[in-house]
Chain A
Amino acid sequence: MIATTMSDTATVNSAARPQGKDRAAKKRDPMVWVIKPAVWVLCLAPLAWLGWLVVETIYFGGRGLSANPVEFINRYLGDWALRFLLISLAVTPVRILTGWKQVVRVRRLLGLFAFFYVVLHVANYVGLDQFFNWEAIWEDVIKRWYITVGMAALLCLIPLAVTSTKGWIKRIGGKNWNRLHKLVYVSGAAACLHFFMMRKGLQYEPLVYAAIFAGLMLVRAVEPLKRRFSA
């Protein structure tokens, strides 16, 4: 999704798509018949694996969810939420670096999957971990900074998910829509910070995620400069 720009969409439509909207051409479009289904399968795979671990734990005495399944599920979903957020933020840099314009067409799908895992992560916290103890949840949100920051990351994503349809792009206009969807950068930064703050001591793993995020932002920042100098 999330930061699809109208110009991107326009380029893709005119340059890469076959002329005329005949169905035969669409059927031959590998984006529709190969890449998008593959993205669906790959994006659902972590959830399917978690589902299997739950089944294995309940029915076969497996220990894949560790001694503390609620914590395991929380961290597993949080890890994947952050990973998918970074993957969706990597679409534009991939286009810039490789020139493969078609890739932009999976951006919305990836962004919505990122949102999907964020929602599951928070649902696990609210439902399983806190068991809908709203008082305790509110206290967490206002008192524990890493949770405050995490909630901010979620809040930034909600309007983006809501306005991810073509109808909404039309309704608010491409320019405003683009501006709104810049919020994903805030969300990505907040998610990285949330992960860093949540870990105790000085740990490398959150720094790796933050470095990847910074790298993706850097590619975006350098692009317009490069264009200006080469033009």
Chain B
Amino acid sequence: MLIKHRKASDVLGSEITPKSVFDDRRRFLKTAALAGAGLAASALPSLPAYAARTKLDGVVKSKWSAESLPEDDPINSYEDATSYNNFYEFGTAKGDPKDNAQDFKTSPWEIMVEGACAKPGKISFEDLIKPATLEERIYRFRCVEAWSMVIPWVGISLGDVLKRFEPTSDARYVYFETLLDPEQMPGQRAPVLNWPYKEGLRIDEAMHPLSILAVGMYGEVIPNQNGAPVRLMVPWKYGFKSIKSIVKIKFQKAMPPTSWNEAAAREYGFYSNVNPMVSHPRWSQASERRIGELFKRKTLMFNGYEEEVASLYEGMDLRKWY
């Protein structure tokens, strides 16, 4: 795998940016302290994954790199994307994931692959990533709560990964599951949702070139609070579809259950495509607040990826299949 552990002499891109240092004294202190600890413990191979922000090497540009990013979609700051998000396994407030996920253990990590495929089995995170190319994918991220960001993910094509397990003709859907570990994930000690977190995609959605498994952000290993070590990223759907810290992938014939659909079926459908025309019982989805902006902006059909994905839903009544 192309993950290089950080040496004390290495300079992170983010360290050149003074904003991240000024912005957050806490992180600065933590990084400084851990860099010191890293020096002392550099001989130990089992340094926890959170010990340092680790740069990812060999990330290649993609069709969705900065060059093709619309001008009015500036990338959100690292600080915004890593301190404000939903990851109910670590608490329901937006700052909880960052506060509670720092000690989350993401290595070793295994993913169980099962169901309608020729090569099921357990696969380590490293083996999952090794054969793939790490690509930079800068996507708009639209939360169902009507806020959005632009985030530079580093990921691998989900379709390429799934093909390695040789799904059969019965594999009409792909089911994903998050780790269930209430000891490490304090949010799971309360029945906020029906744990473990469950999500799913139709197989053609999963095979779509936009769909990725994200393992990094901002050129670095993905922080724990954002779904380390590996999460889904399907940018034309509301954020909750992009399941985090995946431990199970299952190919199946039937439409899989999803956690939010189980919690409130009328509010969260299986598809949950970003759609300004279909309002949610809690939020009008016609507009959104881009983090960093005061005024709301209009929400785009399929979060602006209409050209790429509209054909997946041809002939479907998107009001019915929300």
Looking at chain B, what size class is its interface with the partner chain? 20 to 34
Contacts of A176 in B (CB 8 A): none
Judge whether B88 and A143 touch: CB under 8 Å: no
Contacts of B80 in A (CB 8 A): 67
The distance in angstroms between the C-alpha atoms of A203 and B92, with both chains bound, is 8
Judge whether A203 and B192 touch: CB under 8 Å: yes
Q: A63-B23, A63-B24, A144-B281 are in contact. Are A68 and B94 (CB under 8 A)?
A: yes
Judge whether A201 and B92 touch: CB under 8 Å: yes
Contacts of A66 in B (CB 8 A): 83-84, 94-95
Render A29-71 as a binary contact track against B, CB cut-off 8 A, 1 for contact. 0000000000000000000000000000000010100111011
Q: A70-B289, A203-B192 are in contact. Are A63 and B296 (CB under 8 A)?
A: no
How would you classify the secondary structure of chain B's contact residues: helix, strand, loop or mixed? loop
A75 — nearest CB in chain B belongs to which residue? B93
User: Is B147 close to A, CB under 8 A?
Assistant: yes
The residues in A between 173 and 187 inclusive whose CB is less than 8 angstroms from any CB of B are none
Render B178-197 as a binary contact track against A, CB cut-off 8 A, 1 for contact. 00000000000011110000
The distance in angstroms between the C-alpha atoms of A66 and B289, with both chains bound, is 14
A133 — nearest CB in chain B belongs to which residue? B296
Judge whether B92 and A70 touch: CB under 8 Å: no
Q: A63-B79, A131-B295 are in contact. Are A136 and B94 (CB under 8 A)?
A: no
The distance in angstroms between the C-alpha atoms of A203 and B86, with both chains bound, is 14
| Number of A-B pairs, beta carbon distance below 8 Å | 64
Judge whether A204 and B190 touch: CB under 8 Å: yes
User: Is B62 close to A, CB under 8 A?
Assistant: no
The residues in A between 184 and 231 inclusive whose CB is less than 8 angstroms from any CB of B are 199-205
Judge whether B289 and A68 touch: CB under 8 Å: yes
Judge whether A140 and B83 touch: CB under 8 Å: no
The residues in B between 39 and 94 inclusive whose CB is less than 8 angstroms from any CB of A are 76, 79-80, 83-84, 88, 92, 94
A146 — nearest CB in chain B belongs to which residue? B282
Contact residues of B with A, CB < 8 Å? 22-24, 76, 79-80, 83-84, 88, 92, 94-95, 147, 190-193, 263-264, 279, 281-284, 286-287, 289, 291-292, 294-296
| 5 tightest Cβ-Cβ pairs between the two chains A and B | A67-B84, A67-B80, A201-B192, A67-B291, A201-B193
Contact residues of A with B, CB < 8 Å? 61, 63, 66-68, 70-71, 128, 131, 136, 139-140, 143-146, 199-205
> 20 A–B contact pairs at CB < 8 A?
A63-B23, A63-B79, A66-B83, A66-B84, A67-B79, A67-B83, A67-B84, A67-B291, A68-B291, A139-B284, A144-B283, A146-B282, A199-B92, A200-B92, A200-B264, A200-B282, A201-B88, A202-B192, A202-B193, A202-B263
